[in-house]
Structures are given as structure tokens and as C-alpha cells.
Amino acid sequence: MSSIRSKIKRRLEKFIELDANGVRSHILSAFLKLKEATVDKLHEVLSKKYDVSRSAVASMVGYIHSKLGILRAYKESYKTPIVYSLKEEYADMIKVTLNSNSKAATT
């Protein structure tokens, strides 16, 4: 189990390291605050601070879900949007990684 956590941590660090404009960090912070959200809700949150399209947000959420493995996806019916929720066991890892990245960016 710890090897899975270490792989996810490495992927998460790489994901944030490639964050040129802060959007990736902001979307992870949004998941920490909201716990669960749809792509539309995340786009609403992100578009207040960044000029980002809905499809870019959907792509990022899909990447976080499939490659990082820190999100759950739930769809009540075929008519409703997918609700993504943060897996609680990774919340502490995200906080630590975001904090260490913000400290490294300021130095």
C-alpha cells in the first residue's frame, strides 16, 4: 500500500511542478475545500481567477482522476453530470505537496 502512495505522491509532485500559471494548484486547492464538485462547478471557481475554458478544466480533472488516482467519480444517471470527489486518504498528501511547492516558489 505504501508503494502506491509513494507513486501517487511522485505523480502529484510532477503534476504540480509543471504548473506554470497556478491553475493546477488552484484546482487541487478547490478539491480540498469543496470535497466534491462537477466540472462546471470547478470551471466556475477557476474562471474567477484564471482565463480557462471549460474543456481545459474537464481535461485537467480527467487527468487528475485517471493518472493521479486521487479522485472518485460518481454519476447518478446518464442525464446527470459526473461528480468528482477527493479520496480522503490523499487529502493530507495534497496539502503537504501544495505547501512545499508554494514555499519552494517563494524562495
Average pLDDT over every residue of 15-43: 93
**Backbone torsions φ then ψ of 36, nearest 5 degrees:** -145, 145
Whether 29 contacts 98, CB under 8 Å: yes
pLDDT at residue 2 in the model: 67
Domain ranges (residues) in the chain: 2-98
Q: In what order do the strands lie in the sheet with 83-86?
A: 36-37, 83-86, 71-74
pTM: 0.87
List pLDDT tens digits, range 31-81.
999 989 999 999 999 999 999 999 999 999 999 999 999 999 999 999 999
**How far apart are the C-alpha atoms of 74 and 95, rounded to whole Å?**
24
- Mean pLDDT for the chain overall: 90
- CATH C-level class of 2-98: mainly alpha
Side-chain half-sphere CA neighbours of 76 within 13 A: 5
**pLDDT of residue 106 exceeding 70:** no
